[in-house]
Amino acid sequence: MNLPQMKILVFLFLVLAIAGCKSDVNSPEGPNAEALELFKFETVESELALLKGGGMPLPEGDAVFSIGWNEIFRPIDDDSHIKGMAFAVAFGDTNTECTNFPRLGLDMGTINIGYAGNQIQMHKMFHHRRGTAYSLFNRPFGGSDVLLEYVPSTEYTFNISGAEKFSATTITLLSPASLINITSHNHTDIIDPQQDLTITWEGGNSEGKIALRVMAHFNPQHGGGMKGKHHPGIHPPGPHPGVAVVVILDSNPGQYTFTAEQIQNLISELGADKIVIDVSQFDLGEIEHEGKVLHTAMRNGTSVMLKIQ
């Protein structure tokens, strides 16, 4: 794919990304220069939706602080197998009219994550339709120049400098003793969409909730479809979190079967030539800070991309 084609795909992805919330419907003057900044919030919004589905009481609460390893959205600029991501957002009172990002995010000053003698500063993002949020990503969907390493059973601390509407504090989460690992499939295995798809995995603890997410994925360079049943037109390569099947399990059985009908409906949405399976376990918590309820999530998981026969 040449540069002009890539620019077209990115532009159209921006239009799709901002079309999901009432406040983001294209204005008469069309997309503007701020669209890319809004696009950066897509990863955070997708993760908030997954945490909500897993039992985090959103939109109730005043903030979310999350750390995870080997999630589908993780740094792509390092060749290490185990890659961490983190995000943080504190909600104000102003409604955004967006389901997955319900209220404008507050400025919390500077946030650093400290662990095992390391210190990593989070990127601060701002858009007038979302407010402020923090992430390890300085670009959308995996663009990062830092790597949150995994150290088993170790304290990871958000060191928050504070600002006018959110005072300084620290929030500490404990990393899991082991990570989830998919055992049924390897990356780029070929599957038959006419057959049920059973995913097996190992690791994690037996009691913690499991979130499974199957996303449509395609790459036009390698024969992927460019038009979908419900989303006609050109779509960018990569996973599409807005076109997904999400299942939340109350325990950790180590396996789950998606029906052939679920897989076929999913890939027809975008004419996908691949799917991405994401298996994640998370430990949810709550703490109080000056009358505010702060939600926390320590997560780990893994994903695999499968080709459609």
Helices (H), the chain: 3-18, 35-39, 41-53, 260-270
User: What's the pLDDT score for residue 13?
Assistant: 38
The number of domains in the chain is 1
Token pair 């997560």: residue: 299
Question: How would residue 27 be classed by pLDDT, with cut points 50, 70 and 90?
Answer: very low
Structure token digits, residue 37: 């900044």
Structure token digits, residue 276: 């991405």
Helices (H), 182-306: 260-270
Q: Please compute the mean of the pLDDT values over residues 63-83 and round it to a whole number.
A: 64
pLDDT > 50? residue 230:
no
Omega before 237 within 30 of 0, i.e. cis = no
Q: Looking at per-residue confidence, does 73 or 186 come out higher?
A: 186
Using DSSP's 3-state secondary structure scheme, residue 221 falls into: helix
pLDDT > 80? residue 292:
yes
Paired residues of 305 in beta bridges: 276
pLDDT > 50? residue 74:
no
Q: Looking at per-residue confidence, does 291 or 69 come out higher?
A: 291
| pLDDT, tens digit, 9 for 90 and up, residues 148-190 | 888 999 999 999 999 999 999 999 999 988 889 999 999 899 9
- Whether the CB-CB separation of 242 and 181 falls below 8 Å is answered with no
Q: Which domain holds residue 234?
A: 3-308
User: What's the pLDDT score for residue 82?
Assistant: 62
Q: What share of the chain is helix, strand, coil (3-state, %, to 5)?
A: 15, 40, 40
- Whether the CB-CB separation of 240 and 199 falls below 8 Å is answered with no
What's the predicted TM-score (pTM) here? 0.70
pLDDT > 60? residue 18:
no
